[in-house]
Amino acid sequence: MTMAARGIRDQVAIVGMGCTRFGEHWDKGAEDLLIDAATEAFASAGVSKEDVDAYWLGTMGSGISGLTLSKPLCLDYKPVTRVENMCATGSEAFRNACYAVACGAVDMAMAIGVEKLKDSGLSGLVLPSAPADGTASELTAPALFSLLAPAYERKYGVDPAALKDVLTRIAWKNHHNGSLNPRAQFRREVDKATIACSPIVAGQLGIFDCAGVADGSAAAIIVRAADAHRYTDKPVFVKALSFVAGPASGTADPAYDYTTFPEVVRAGRNAYMEAGVENPRAELAMAEVHDCFTPTELVIYEDLGFAERGQGWKEALAGTFDLDGDLPVNPDGGLKAFGHPIGASGLRMLFEAWLQLRGEAPPERTIRSIAQGRKLALTHNLGGAPGECVSFVSIVGREPTA
């Protein structure tokens, strides 16, 4: 096992954030969403676009090059880097902006993500692709992730009906949390019977097991930790930034059993090392994880050490990850209810960590773990499919490590 990256714990901090409502923005283009998220972030930090030295823009398919941002914001000849890393795109913009500040190249950076998905007129997510030989499978994302459920059932002896209850409860929890969030795409509670009986999309997964396809944007302003209090009394310090792209061997290796994402395990392990976290279940106040489909969230509980292997389903049923549970997961509603504009999602997760750690979440959505003394929040993305994905994990906290 090689040593992971050293990391930049406590070297940089977030001092301002913005996040649009996610959903069907028929009256707004990607440029409008970028302006809205950036404006809110500038105001939050009390700075202007001129104060930001460099920009990182994450978008999967809503524009290419830095011009996608510099043009709508009328930036004054600033560097804008456009990045893409599938569903980790927004987090990747954040990671690179943090590194630029940490290394001293710039004093202030903005990471901003956007996606405008609803204009395609198509169902589900459509990925851009390079000319190819025509041998790749045409399987959709829900079908790829549906492979997790039967594998989990088989490995841990959970019968399909019991697992369906678990997946239903995960969707129900995230919809409940989203119902308390004015920025979420879906703001109504959904009862368990509706979720369980929703039309099947792939394998055992119904419509309500899938995250919403949405438009949206979110942004963060990053400065060196030493400068952070100039902009806010309550900066959020970056403890860990971990990103891995796997060898994609799971699709070709018979040893891979579809009950884990090795990429998530590795990204989590690196992040815990960077942040000095030994027991995530006990130390984290909350987590925002990539619940693109309900079985994904179940497997992530175990991959990130929130639950023992084979126990995640029991913990989910016991309410461990509920808003008032021991370790709240996706208190903002997650991809499921908040919606999933690809390039914005990673930054949207950080936005919830920002609100919760600063005590700014509305009372009905405030998690109890922070009042109980926990100080760290985790965000997580994965992009790709079981056996072949990229994964990101960040850990942020209200206080520098003593």
Partner 1 sequence: MKRGIVAYGAYLPYWRLARSSITAALATPAGRGTRAVASYDEDTTTMAVEAARIALAAAPEGVRPHEVVLATAAPAYLDKTNAVAVHDALGLARSAAAFDMNGSVRSGSAALRYAANATAPVLAVLSDIRTGLPGGADERDGGDAAAAFLFSSGSEVVAEPIAQASATSEFLDRWRLPGETTSHQWEERFGEHEYLPLAEEAIAATLEEAGVTAAEIDHFIVTGVHTRAVRAVQRSAAVPAGAPAKDLSAVVGNTGTAHQGLVLASVLDSAAPGALILTVSLADGAVATVLRVGEAILQYRQRRPAGGTVAAQVSAGRGELPYTTFLTWRDQLRREPPRRPEPAPPASPPAARHRAWKFSFAASRCGICGMRLVPPGRVCIGCGALGQMTQERLADVPGVVATFTADRLAFTPNPPMVVAVIDFDGGGRFRCELTDVGPDAVVIGTRVEMTFRKMSTSQTIHNYFWKARPVREEA
Binding site for partner 1 (CB under 8 A): 121-124, 126, 129, 131-135, 137-140, 142-143, 146-147, 150-151, 154, 200-203, 247, 249, 251-254, 256, 258
Tell me how far apart the alpha carbons of residues 91 and 108 are, in angstroms, rounded to a whole number: 17
From the CB of 209, what's the least distance to partner 1, in Å?
12
Q: Which of 87, 98, 210, 292 is catalytic?
A: 87
Q: Are 337 and 174 in contact (CB under 8 A)?
A: yes
* 200, two tokens: 């099947």
Query: Would you tell me how many other CB atoms lie within 10 Å of the CB of residue 35?
Result: 18
Residue with smaller CB distance to partner 1, 328 or 387? 387
Closest residue by Cα to residue 345 from 19, 12, 26: 19
Closest residue by Cα to residue 8 from 84, 101, 75, 142: 101
From the CB of 139, what's the least distance to partner 1, in Å?
5
Tell me how far apart the alpha carbons of residues 395 and 177 are, in angstroms, rounded to a whole number: 21
Query: Would you tell me how many other CB atoms lie within 10 Å of the CB of residue 1?
Result: 5
From the CB of 260, what's the least distance to partner 1, in Å?
14
Amino acid type, 88: A
Residue with smaller CB distance to partner 1, 247 or 362? 247
From the CB of 159, what's the least distance to partner 1, in Å?
15
From the CB of 211, what's the least distance to partner 1, in Å?
14
Return the residue matching tokens 């994880």: 289
Residue with smaller CB distance to partner 1, 66 or 295? 295
Residue with smaller CB distance to partner 1, 4 or 151? 151
- Phi and psi angles of residue 370, each rounded to the nearest 5 degrees, phi first: -70, -45
- Phi and psi angles of residue 83, each rounded to the nearest 5 degrees, phi first: -120, 155
DSSP state of 87: B
From the CB of 144, what's the least distance to partner 1, in Å?
8
Please report, for residues 47, 83, 191, the alpha-carbon distance to residue 94 in angstroms, rounded to integers and kept in the order given.
18, 10, 36
Residue with smaller CB distance to partner 1, 79 or 150? 150
Amino acid type, 252: A
Tell me how far apart the alpha carbons of residues 345 and 218 are, in angstroms, rounded to a whole number: 8
From the CB of 192, what's the least distance to partner 1, in Å?
22
Closest residue by Cα to residue 112 from 2, 37, 163: 37
Contacts of residue 71, defined as CB under 8 A and 6 or more positions apart, other chains included, come to 31
Residue with smaller CB distance to partner 1, 305 or 383? 383
Please report, for residues 24, 84, 181, 212, the alpha-carbon distance to residue 113 in angstroms, rounded to integers and kept in the order given.
17, 10, 20, 17
- Phi and psi angles of residue 259, each rounded to the nearest 5 degrees, phi first: -115, 10
Residue with smaller CB distance to partner 1, 146 or 379? 146
From the CB of 60, what's the least distance to partner 1, in Å?
15
Residue with smaller CB distance to partner 1, 248 or 318? 248
Q: Which of 25, 175, 290, 340 is catalytic?
A: 340
Q: Are 199 and 206 in contact (CB under 8 A)?
A: yes
Catalytic residue status for 340: yes
Amino acid type, 95: R
Catalytic residue status for 380: no
Active site residues: 87, 340
